[in-house]
Amino acid sequence: MATKPPVKQAAKPQTPELTRTLDDSEEEIQRLLLSSKTDEDLGEAHDLIASLLTRHRGEYVFRIGTLPLLSQLISGEPIEDTGWIGVTRTQAEVDKIHEMSVRLVEQMGGKVSTLFESRTDHPRIHLLLRLPPLSVSDVPEVRCAVVGNVDSGKSTTLGVLTRGALDDGRGRARIALFRHKHEIESGRTSSVGMEILGFNPEGSPILPALTHVGESGVARQEKLGWEEISKKSAKIISFIDLAGHEKYLKTTLYGLTSGSPSCVILIVGANAGLIGMSKEHLAAALALTIPVVVCITKIDMTPPNVMEETVKQVVKILRSPGCRKTPVFVKSAEVAMELAPTFAKDKLCPVFQISNVTGEGLDHMRTLLNLLPPSDNDKTKYSVDRPFEYSITEVWSVPFVGTVVNGIVAGGSIKVGDTVMVGPDANGNYLQTSVRSMQRKRANVTSAEAGQAVSLALKRTKRQMIRKGMVIVKKTDEPPPRPTYKFEGQVLILYHNTTLQKGYQAMLHCGAVRQTVRITAMDHPQGVLRTGDRATVQFEFISHPEYVTLGSKILFREGTTKGLGVVTKLL
C-alpha cells in the first residue's frame, strides 16, 4: 500500500514556559550506584529507592542522564544545547546505573521496565520502577470517561485498547463491548458501559492471547475476565464508555458526574472533525474541571487535506477563550511519559492521532494511560480520615446474592460485616443494613478506602428500596446526614434562548444525584436570567429529598438550556 504524504500540522503556538524539578534523592541514588565501592553505598541506595517507591505508592519513574526542558520537548522543535537539566552521564555510566537499579529493585520484589532510551549526544534512559500490590484491594485505579460524537470511534478504540486485536475497518473490535441487542444492531452505545485495561508490574498491558486464526482469516481470542485481569494488574484503567448520540445526553452527563473520572478522553473522528455532541461533551468536561485528552481516530482512511482541517479545528477550539488549553501532539513515548503526571495542572491537552486498523499511535496512548496518577490518590477529593460516605451509582438484584450496589467511596473506609445506613428514601429516612460481601472489579475484597470504586452486597434489603443517588454511611450514635429539599447555588447560565424565570424546571446533575429541580428564587435585579448571567439561585427538588454537600458542582439542563454552578447553602 502506498504511503500517504505527511500531513501538515497547523502553525504551532508559543509553548508556555514549563519547568520540572528532579527529586534530590534521584541524583544521590545515581552517585551511590556509580561509586558502589562498599556494601554501605549499595545499602544506602537501596533505602533511598525504597523510600521513593513508598512515597509514590509503589510506582516511580526513575530518570537517568540529562533531561530536555519540558517546554522544549513538547514544542516539537529541535532541542537547543542549553535546554537540558540534570547531571550529564556517559553511555557507560547510564548503563551501569540501569543495571544496578534493576538488581536493587528486584531484590525488593519489584520490577523495572524501560519507558524511553536515547543513545545520542545526551545519553538518557527513563525506567519505570513498580512494586506489585499485595492484593486486589491495593491495586491503584485510574477512571477515564470516553466521550465523543456518534460514529467517532469510541467503542472501537476501547475494544482495541482492552482486547489488543486491531479492528477490521468495519467495527469488529467494538462488538464485544455492546451490552444490549439494539446496540449491536445499530452499532451505537446507549448505556454507560465499563471496560478495564490492566497493566502488570513490568508495565505491559494485560491482553487476551490470540488462540488461532480461523478459516475466515479472523483471529480468535481467549476470554479474559475482570477478576483475572485484576489479580494480574499493578494498575487498572477503568474506561467509562459513554453514549455519543444526542438523545442519550442525559445518560452521558450522569456518567461524567457520578463516575468521578480523573480525565476525559474525547474521541474525534478525523474524517468528520470536532462536531455535534463532541462540543457538548467537551463543554461538560470543562464545566466539571476534568482534564481532557483528545484522541483523533480514523487517520488511516482520512485524506490529508481533511486531516489537516481537523487538526486546525481541534487546535483552534482547545486554544479558544472557553477552553484555554495548550494542545500537545504526542509523537513519542518520551512526550507521553512526561505529560502523564503534569498535563492536568499545567493546562495542557495531549492530542493523539491513532488508527485502530493499523495500530499507529496506540502505543503512545498506552504509555500515557500506564503512567496516569491513580484516581484514589487525589487528596483534595478523597480522605480516609473523613467519616465513611459512599455514593450509589448503580443498583442490581443478583440471584442468590440479593441487592447489590455499585459506587465510589467518597470518604473513610468500609469492610465486610459493617453496619451501615442507606438513604435518604422518598420521606427522607435512612434504612439500616449491613455489608454481606464486597467486590472490586468483580474480584472479592474484604475492605475498601476513600477513592475506590467497589460493589457492595447488602443484607435483607429489597431492590425497590434502593435508587441511584442515595448514599451509604456507617451507623453511629450521631444521626445520619440530613437530606435536602432546597438548596442555594452560585450559577452561570451557559445558554438559554430567552429569559429564565422563577418556577423554571430543569434536570439537575450533582454527583450521583439526577433529579428535576424547580427554581424558587434568584437574586438577579431584573428577576430573570439570560445567557452569560451569574446569580445566586434557590433550587427545590421536585420528587424527593437528596443528599448534597456544600461545594458540590452542579450541572442543569433542559432542551438547549445549559447552566453550571456550585452548591453554596443548604436550606
CATH classification of the domain holding 213: 3.40.50.300
**336 pLDDT above the threshold of 70:** yes
215 and 287 housed in the same domain: yes
Q: What is the pLDDT of residues 128-153, one digit of tens each?
A: 999 999 888 889 999 999 998 888 88
DSSP notation for 328-349:
EE--SHHHHHHHTTTTTTTTEE
Q: What is the pLDDT of residues 64-116, one digit of tens each?
A: 988 888 777 777 677 776 767 888 889 999 999 999 999 999 999 999 999 99
pLDDT of residue 469: 92
> What's the chain's average pLDDT?
85
pLDDT of residue 8: 43
- At residue 525, the 3 state secondary structure works out as coil
C-alpha cell at 134: 499485595
Distances (CA, A) of 380 to 330, 376, 386, 408, 472: 29, 10, 12, 15, 21
99 and 185 housed in the same domain: no
120 and 195 housed in the same domain: no
189 and 154 housed in the same domain: yes
The answer, yes or no, to whether the previous bond of 424 is cis (omega within 30 of 0) is: yes
Closest CA relative to residue 104, chosen from 152, 161, 52: 52
Is position 8 within any domain? no
Domain containing residue 57: 24-130
327 and 411 housed in the same domain: no
Q: What is the pLDDT of residues 508-520, one digit of tens each?
A: 999 999 999 999 9
Alpha carbons 467 and 460: distance in angstroms, whole number? 16
Is position 17 within any domain? no
200 and 340 housed in the same domain: yes
pLDDT band at 344 (very low <50, low <70, confident <90, very high): confident
Q: What is the pLDDT of residues 464-505, one digit of tens each?
A: 999 999 999 999 888 888 999 999 999 999 889 988 999 999
Report DSSP state, residue 8.
P
**Cross-strand pairs, 395:** 405
Is position 353 within any domain? yes
Residues 547 and 556 sit within 8 Å (Cβ to Cβ): no
Distances (CA, A) of 10 to 314, 325, 361, 489: 10, 16, 19, 41
Where does a domain end: 130, 149, 173?
130
> Mean of the pLDDT values across residues 324-336?
91
Residues 546 and 484 sit within 8 Å (Cβ to Cβ): yes
Q: Which of 150-159, 250-259, 270-279, 537-546 has the highest mean pLDDT?
A: 537-546
For the ranges 111-125, 156-170, 543-557, the lowest mean pLDDT is seen at: 156-170
Is position 2 within any domain? no
Residues 234 and 191 sit within 8 Å (Cβ to Cβ): no
Amino acid identity for residue 206 in this structure? I
359 and 429 housed in the same domain: no
297 and 371 housed in the same domain: yes
pLDDT of residue 95: 92
pLDDT of residue 270: 93
> Mean of the pLDDT values across residues 7-27?
56
pLDDT of residue 38: 74
Closest CA relative to residue 191, chosen from 178, 202, 207, 204: 178
Residues 458 and 422 sit within 8 Å (Cβ to Cβ): yes
> Mean of the pLDDT values across residues 159-171?
77
Where does a domain end: 414, 445, 474?
474
322 and 453 housed in the same domain: no
CATH classification of the domain holding 529: 2.40.30.10
Is position 57 within any domain? yes
Higher-scoring residue by pLDDT: 519, 322: 519
Q: What is the pLDDT of residues 211-250, one digit of tens each?
A: 544 544 444 555 678 888 888 999 999 998 887 677 778 8
196 and 293 housed in the same domain: yes
Where does a domain end: 83, 111, 130?
130
Number of structural domains found in the chain: 4
**16 pLDDT above the threshold of 60:** no
Q: What is the pLDDT of residues 435-453, one digit of tens each?
A: 999 999 888 999 999 999 9
86 and 230 housed in the same domain: no
pLDDT of residue 174: 62
pLDDT of residue 173: 60
Is position 190 within any domain? yes
Is position 480 within any domain? no
Amino acid identity for residue 462 in this structure? K
529 and 546 housed in the same domain: yes
Q: What is the pLDDT of residues 280-298, one digit of tens each?
A: 889 889 988 999 999 999 9
**308 pLDDT above the threshold of 80:** yes
pLDDT band at 255 (very low <50, low <70, confident <90, very high): confident
Is position 11 within any domain? no
